[in-house]
Amino acid sequence: MATVQIFNKGNIKEAKTFKNTCWFIWDDSDELICLVDQEKDRGGGGVFKSTVHYASTDPEIVAIFPEWELIIDDIPQPQGFYESVKGIDGKVVKLRFKDYECVLDFTHDRGGYS
């Protein structure tokens, strides 16, 4: 399983594990929401920001917008739009947006997916 931790202004907001998919949504109250696997929509509006697919043999982050900062294993990546980011299995990926930092850890045992 992969893990995701969401920090707001340096304080942990939530931490979750996921087997398949993680979605980031900017909701109507200006908060970053993280939904994983089979979690249902929480009923509010919002704007899709990014999706992480983990169940495949090569994890992938889909749609990283230019306003996000992408850091892979503590190495900042060039700012810009990323349609897809692969090659992240076994790595720690950080996504920063406004006052939020999302830490995705792909270093754990894949439980039969590798």
Q: Are 88 and 63 in contact (CB under 8 A)?
A: no
Bridge partners (DSSP) of residue 68 are: none
The pTM of this model reads 0.83
Q: What is the pLDDT of residue 36?
A: 86
pLDDT tens profile 61-104? 988 989 999 999 999 999 999 999 999 999 999 999 999 999 99
Distances from the Cα of 19 to the Cα of 25, 26, 38, 64, angstroms: 19, 22, 10, 20
pLDDT tens profile 1-27? 889 999 999 999 999 988 888 888 888
Residue ranges and CATH numbers for the domains of the chain are: 2-105 (2.60.200)
